[in-house]
Amino acid sequence: MPLSDGLAALLTEHIRKHPPAEVSLPWLEKGGEPITVRLVLTTRELKPLDKNYFNYLWKGTLEAIGAIAALNDKPVGKGRKWEECRDKMMQSLRHLFASEAINEGIDVYTLADLLGHEDLRLPSAATSTV
């Protein structure tokens, strides 16, 4: 993933303070052979972040900066609810990255590789005509 010099410096400092955690899981297929990788971002239990946990943390951050509002007064982690914010979640961040990469001149093949896509063809439903 391409990084600016400033972001690379911040990431380097984070890694210095919080070394990557080694995690062994069957990454390629459920129930497959475990593979050990080093993860920079993990849960408190040093497990891989999944999208639900990321989004949960992200919503608290969005609230803290005033981008979304809480719907109740319960503490975070104890039933806190937030207003609808689908347009500010992980998938939207991927779309933003892709749009910005295209704007900066990255070709679609390189972008597809960065995003982990194996096939550039559109799904059949998207290519059908009405």
Q: State residue 128's pLDDT score.
A: 43
Q: State residue 43's pLDDT score.
A: 83
Residue range 2-55, pLDDT digits in tens: 678 888 899 899 899 888 988 888 877 778 888 898 888 888 888 888 777 888
Q: State residue 125's pLDDT score.
A: 47
Query: What integer best gives the mean pLDDT of the chain?
Result: 82
Q: What is the DSSP string of the chain?
A: ----HHHHHHHHHHHHHSPPEEEEE--SSTTS--EEEEESSB-TTS-B--HHHHHHHHHHHHHHTTSS-BSS-PPTTTT--B---GGGSHHHHHHHHHHHHHHTT--HHHHHHHTT-S--SPPHHHH---
| 96 pLDDT higher than 90 | no
